[in-house]
Chain A
Amino acid sequence: MNYIQISLLPHITDVKGEQVRAQAASFLGIDTGEVKCSQVYAVQYNLKDHDMERFAHTCLGDEIMNKVSVDQIELPAENFKAFIAVAKLPGVTDDEGTSAQKALADLIEGNDFDTQTQHIFSQTLYYIEKPLTRRQLKQIAEELLGNKLIHHFQYDTLGAVQSLKLNQLYVPKVRLVTDTTTTTIDLNLADDELLALSKRMVLALNLAEMKAVQTHYNYPTIQAKRAKVGLPASPTDCELEVIAQTWSEHCKHKEFNAVIHFVDKETGEEKQVNSLFKTFIKGSTEKVRQLLQEKGNDWLVKVFTDNAGIVRMNEDTHFVWKVETHNSPSALDPYGGAITGILGNNRDPLATGIGGARLLFNTNVLCFGSPYFDGKLLTGQLHPKRIFSGVRHGIEDGGNKSGIPTVNGSIIFDDRFRGKPLVYCGTGGILKPEYNGRPTFEKLIDPGDRIIMAGGRVGKDGIHGATFSSIEIDEHSPMSAVQIGSPITQKLMADFMIRACEQGLIKSSTDNGAGGLSSSIGELATITNGALVQLEKVPLKYSGLRPWEIFVSESQERMSLVVTPENKAALFQLAEEMEVELTDIGHFSDDGNLDIRFGEQRVALIDMEFLHDGVPQKVMYAEWEKPDLLEPIIQNELDHEQILIKLLGSLNICSREWVIRQYDHEVKGKTVVKPLMGETGKAPQDAAVVRLGFGSYEGVAVSNGICPQYGDIDPYEMSAGAFDEAVRQIISVGGTLPNQSVNDGICWSVNDNFCVPDSEFHPTNNPDGKLKLAKLVRMCEALYDMSTYFQIPMTSGKDSMKNDYKGDGVRISIPPTILYSMTAKVDDIRRTVTSNFKAIGDRIYLLGDTYNELGASEFYKLFGEVGTSVPKVRKEAAYQLYQKVSDANREGWIESCHDCSDGGMIIALAECLFGGQLGCNVNVDGFREDLSLLSILYAESHSRFVVSIAPENQAAFETHFGDAATYLGNVIPGDKLLVSYKEEEIINQSISDLIAAWEGGLAVMGAIA
């Protein structure tokens, strides 16, 4: 083993070191003094001394700024008194090391370096000036520099620095004893033993499910079939793992398919819902499809049955859209969880139909606890600030390094998300409708087609991810559930996939996500009704995995490709040219079995029908009761200037610029409405708009609707409100509702994502489970009502059912949350509308009706209240208003448009000013008599917009909108927001002060990068 250390020359600013110093001071209150970083590479190849020197100097060091030392430690000036070394744990993705290996192979040609397995291990060494205690060093290491689930830390103090030797540093070599045995598990056990087994093996199967497996294995026909091939009567470890993975909540959505007994205690109504998914989600899309087809709007291409939904944008363009969550891993390792989430979600559109979609954009919606949280953390729980910071970083690397713009998103703060954060990742892509005359939406497979694994290698990463996400996190959660994505590996694979698909070399594809090969091959095999897999062929990151582990491992950046035998050679040739590893691991069959082998060894023979249809339908109980809440009385003598400043700085309203700027939101050069716009680049926008290509002005608008706070009063209105929010954001930027006229071709594609706490009733463990489930039912009912009324269809989605964190006997549950992620075709991006005011003298209006709806508002939150007056969606009025807004846009009347949401009209108005150089003077007398001033300013009534128009269009505009438009005032020169009410000036604020307050909300995060 040789060691190469790369440090900075003394005159070069150590940016990373300065960051560590600043963060240690601000987060941990530790004065580190100066911090110096260096990178250490442990090299396990045998190289001649001269080659090692060359490698170090040319491939790793930069002569302008680095000092390079080989096998000799470079110490900073003598006054440094401590060090921390942060290495990766064995088997954790080390892209830095892998890239160094590739660089070495380029430098010294002809040497047959094994670059596929880890031979170079990178780590970071930090020298610290002050003589910190070991406890302080540990704290810096574990809370700032790394995560003990994936990193190894070494630290020492005082004289230790001077006596440190490079070869004393830890190297994460994987040492495993090779064990390829397969064991069998006797299921003829008593009920409690079955449950204990399920828990011990992390199968996440309940008693009914365990008994279904037990019964299946006791069938004489099954036993005979097994005996014939020499398999024991009892299931093998691999079989149980595959069944558990296939039947996991994550993969089978058992609760969304359950029979639910629902009792409404308000009305006394009782009913039974047979599958929330079929009744409300699929049911709504089927109804919408009918309504669309009646008008010749036949653009729904594929819904729910593939990795992502497909709609037709135009003759040459299908649009693929998928949003899903990655919550549990992000609670344990926020960076790894988020990067794995976004890269995993990218693979869904990439592997829809045949595969090979070109990814156009990412979005992400995040829910965290307050970064200012100062309560006690439970065992194993990370502080919300750390989760926020890590997740943000993961999304940055996942998107930026893949060259996919992150075009919009949303961040919600509520302390109930401090146990499990919600991390929703969305990706839209463009799929050609045909490759060489073959429709791309179809997933065709025939018996005899080869199963090709592409991309990264398999390690122990993420074993049990699918089952793990289906259970609560506690302090004993399996740590192999954590993994780190490698964007560069995936980028190479994605580039390859696109070429191979377009050349017709791939017949079908699917991604290896949760459940790994077990899930991807298991699902594809339903098309032919069988598959045979030879696990010994699967390339491994390191030896030592047992066969079942190979099959269920969730190592990232992998695809399963379906390839005809005659295309195999050409595909492998292309892969070699593009440096993507492919392996033929078996073929599809039609014999009704999932047949898994390891060499000669039979590992599993599972009946396909049992595997996919054998899971017993769950029966669940729901009971709805209105929460016991009161409307607060807020005294009317308020300083509205102060309230405005407070609201602007509040967590759910304040500027996200610090986050947004670290995401590349315009790579590909197609982003037309970006998250922040205007002269100053500070005005927040409602929806993103992305052009489809350089050759046309067609585009797609992207929005996200999410408002869990309203669910505390009424989950139906919460879900309806979130739906409306997403629709109105698209209308705001210039979109139009679908199905307005015959064959108008305006397609919409929506993904619904439900995240709820454990909603399965249990008298001791989950006594309010029935209420939680009732909330979910009501959310689904609203989805159906809104979707069918607006004729806006769900095309794909996801549910995440156990968002609870348990530790030290305490449970933290998230509020039930639904995210609607909407996309809609925009005919001409040149006619889209941005939120900031455009010209002095323009008239400002509020469109849509305001009600006395302050319930669960940001305003009430300032007073610690919730209230009862939840904003309600009035869909008829909303629908008509949205049609009118689109008509007005067609006339070109609307110069700026911004929807009202958190904080109400006054916040929307203020944000219209953040684009720069313009002020406004408004008067709020023009509202209905029954509205309080508080409601006018702060109510979060849905379906409203603050718009501005040029004075010359005023008459036509007012006639067009009638009562739906309330005149507020004018755009004025200068730096003022002026608001008057009943001849009294209630707000007179400089916009720069407003911006300062708005930008200060996340100051606590400012130092983190």
Chain B
Amino acid sequence: MQQSKYPVRALVITGFGINCEEEMAAAYQLAGAETEIVHLNDILVKGRDIHTFDILNFPGGFSFGDDIASGKVLANKIRYKSLPNGNTFLEEINQFLADGKYIMGICNGFQVLVKLGLLPMLGAKVEQQVTLTHNNSGRYENRWVRCKVNPESKTPFLAGITAFDVPVRHGEGKLLFKDEATQEAIVSQHLNCLTYCLPNGETAEDYPQNPNGSSLACAGLTDPSGQVFGLMPHPEAFLSLYNHPNWAKLKRENPDLPEEGAGAQLFHNIVRHVAAKSSVTL
């Protein structure tokens, strides 16, 4: 891995029902980042500075129990509640992005980013343009799916990846666009960076390979700059080969299979990208 002068620093938000912070922190540690789990109120109430970090992460979970709508109450807290310095957290985030830094949201974290308007941010507008809602099955489901990466996508999180297996664990993961124009803009700008697919790589139209009925079988989005990335599946739950439901047979078929899981690649990617950037600018 390319060495930078300064360690890459990842901030992982927790609190209020977020529950995947530990595995997300483990993912960044595995990728070599200096990682800290920070309670949201350490930022909101105690004014903890996010700008000393390079990557801001919203993990999965059930913030506020998914009450009203998933991610909604947390998104509003970020949008409206003032920090000790008088800014809202959203204003701090805007500054964070203006500084060229990165944001990742997984599952409930993705729902928060979408409801905050940080994804897909068409026309650089921080306003809600898509939504994530109840799966067509009407059920919460935990199952492994396959996702392919949009080859035109520019987000550094997905660089060099074509497809990978990963678990989904959600009840509200169906992506809906505000209107056709929004959908067209997303497609034409390649912001639908991740797509549920079949083992042969074809887009998964139907359940269960498309687990929720998302438009375009879309599993993840990025903003036009590629700095903000969100997805419903949980790459941080596939850091080890032994997370895969078929690990034993895969290992039998290929005893030399690496023990690292495919999900780890996303974190290696962003940490390496930030490190490379900072070593250039320094």
B-binding residues in A (CB < 8 A): 12-13, 15-16, 18-19, 58-60, 62-65, 95-96, 98-100, 102-103, 106-107, 109, 396, 400-403, 486-488, 491-492, 495, 577-579, 660-672, 674, 676-679, 681, 691, 694, 829-830, 832-834, 836, 838-839, 895-896, 915, 1009
Give the distance in Å from the alpha carbon of A363 to the alpha carbon of B273 in the complex.
41
Which residue in chain A gives the minimum CB-CB distance to B249? A838
Closest Cβ of chain A to B180, distance in Å, is 11
Q: Which residues of chain A are near B240, meaning CB under 8 Å? A: 669, 691, 694
Most buried by A among B14, B18, B176, B177: B176
Q: Which residues of chain B are near A19, meaning CB under 8 Å? A: 138
Q: Which residues of chain B are near A677, meaning CB under 8 Å? A: 245-246, 248
Q: Are the C-beta atoms of A829 and B242 separated by less than 8 Å?
A: yes
A-binding residues in B (CB < 8 A): 14-20, 22-23, 26, 29-30, 39, 41-42, 45-46, 60-62, 64-69, 72-73, 76-77, 79-82, 115, 128-131, 133-144, 167, 169, 176-178, 234, 236-240, 242-243, 245-249, 252-253, 259
Q: Which residues of chain B are near A495, meaning CB under 8 Å? A: 14-15, 39
Q: With A62-B115, A64-B176, A65-B176 as given contacts, are A669 and B26 in contact (CB-CB < 8 Å)?
A: yes
Closest Cβ of chain A to B199, distance in Å, is 10
Q: Are the C-beta atoms of B128 and A403 separated by less than 8 Å?
A: no
Interface of B is mostly: mixed
Give the distance in Å from the alpha carbon of A726 to the alpha carbon of B198 in the complex.
38
Give the distance in Å from the alpha carbon of A832 to the alpha carbon of B242 in the complex.
10
Give the distance in Å from the alpha carbon of A694 to the alpha carbon of B260 in the complex.
12
Closest Cβ of chain A to B251, distance in Å, is 8
Q: Are the C-beta atoms of B19 and A672 separated by less than 8 Å?
A: no
Q: With A58-B76, A669-B239, A829-B242 as given contacts, are A403 and B61 in contact (CB-CB < 8 Å)?
A: yes
Q: Are the C-beta atoms of A102 and B144 separated by less than 8 Å?
A: no
Give the distance in Å from the alpha carbon of A491 to the alpha carbon of B15 in the complex.
9
Give the distance in Å from the alpha carbon of A836 to the alpha carbon of B14 in the complex.
38
Give the distance in Å from the alpha carbon of A96 to the alpha carbon of B73 in the complex.
11
Q: With A16-B138, A64-B128 as given contacts, are A839 and B65 in contact (CB-CB < 8 Å)?
A: no
Give the distance in Å from the alpha carbon of A45 to the alpha carbon of B268 in the complex.
49
Q: Are the C-beta atoms of A577 and B39 separated by less than 8 Å?
A: yes
List 15 contacting pairs A-B, 8 Å CB cutoff, sorted by A: A12-B133, A95-B65, A400-B169, A491-B19, A492-B15, A667-B20, A669-B238, A671-B243, A678-B245, A679-B246, A681-B143, A681-B245, A691-B242, A832-B248, A839-B252
Give the distance in Å from the alpha carbon of A555 to the alpha carbon of B243 in the complex.
38
Q: Which residues of chain B are near A838, meaning CB under 8 Å? A: 248-249, 252-253
Give the distance in Å from the alpha carbon of A663 to the alpha carbon of B167 in the complex.
13
Which residue in chain A gives the minimum CB-CB distance to B115? A62
Q: Are the C-beta atoms of B138 and A12 separated by less than 8 Å?
A: no
Give the distance in Å from the alpha carbon of A65 to the alpha carbon of B215 in the complex.
14
Q: Which residues of chain A are near B242, meaning CB under 8 Å? A: 672, 691, 829-830
Closest Cβ of chain A to B84, distance in Å, is 13
Give the distance in Å from the alpha carbon of A785 to the alpha carbon of B121 in the complex.
67
Which of B26, B29, B42, B141 meets A662, CB within 8 Å?
B141
Give the distance in Å from the alpha carbon of A132 to the alpha carbon of B265 in the complex.
56
Give the distance in Å from the alpha carbon of A500 to the alpha carbon of B127 in the complex.
38
Q: With A64-B176, A694-B239 as given contacts, are A99 and B67 in contact (CB-CB < 8 Å)?
A: yes
Which of B17, B135, B247 meets A15, CB within 8 Å?
B135
Q: Are the C-beta atoms of A488 and B72 separated by less than 8 Å?
A: no
Q: Are the C-beta atoms of A99 and B65 separated by less than 8 Å?
A: yes
Q: Are the C-beta atoms of B142 and A96 separated by less than 8 Å?
A: no
Closest Cβ of chain A to B34, distance in Å, is 16
Q: Are the C-beta atoms of B130 and A99 separated by less than 8 Å?
A: no
Q: Are the C-beta atoms of B45 and A577 separated by less than 8 Å?
A: yes
Q: Are the C-beta atoms of A1009 and B19 separated by less than 8 Å?
A: no
Q: Are the C-beta atoms of A668 and B22 separated by less than 8 Å?
A: yes
Q: Which residues of chain A are near B130, meaning CB under 8 Å? A: 64
Q: Are the C-beta atoms of B136 and A106 separated by less than 8 Å?
A: no
Q: Which residues of chain A are near B167, meaning CB under 8 Å? A: 666
Q: Which residues of chain B are near A58, meaning CB under 8 Å? A: 76, 79-80
Which of B30, B67, B142, B246 meets A663, CB within 8 Å?
B142
Q: With A662-B139, A664-B169, A839-B252 as given contacts, are A487 and B62 in contact (CB-CB < 8 Å)?
A: yes
Q: Which residues of chain B are near A670, meaning CB under 8 Å? A: 23
Most buried by A among B42, B80, B253: B80
Which residue in chain A gives the minimum CB-CB distance to B46? A577
Q: Are the C-beta atoms of A839 and B73 separated by less than 8 Å?
A: no
Q: With A16-B134, A19-B138, A63-B128 as given contacts, are A666 and B68 in contact (CB-CB < 8 Å)?
A: no
Q: Are the C-beta atoms of B115 and A109 separated by less than 8 Å?
A: no
Q: Are the C-beta atoms of A106 and B252 separated by less than 8 Å?
A: no
Closest Cβ of chain B to A126, distance in Å, is 15
Q: Are the C-beta atoms of B237 and A667 separated by less than 8 Å?
A: yes
Q: Are the C-beta atoms of B17 and A679 separated by less than 8 Å?
A: no
Q: With A488-B17, A666-B167, A668-B22 as given contacts, are A400 and B136 in contact (CB-CB < 8 Å)?
A: no
Q: Which residues of chain A are near B61, meaning CB under 8 Å? A: 403
Kindly list the 3 A-B residue pairs having the minimum CB-CB distance in the complex, ordered from nearest.
Answer: A403-B19, A99-B67, A669-B23
Q: Which residues of chain B are near A579, meaning CB under 8 Å? A: 16, 41
Give the distance in Å from the alpha carbon of A830 to the alpha carbon of B72 in the complex.
40
Q: Are the C-beta atoms of B76 and A107 separated by less than 8 Å?
A: yes
Q: Which residues of chain B are near A106, meaning CB under 8 Å? A: 73, 76-77, 80-81
Q: With A99-B73, A577-B39, A676-B245 as given contacts, are A661 and B26 in contact (CB-CB < 8 Å)?
A: no
Q: Which residues of chain B are near A96, meaning CB under 8 Å? A: 67-68
Closest Cβ of chain A to B147, distance in Å, is 16
Give the distance in Å from the alpha carbon of A988 to the alpha carbon of B138 in the complex.
38
Q: Are the C-beta atoms of A895 and B17 separated by less than 8 Å?
A: no
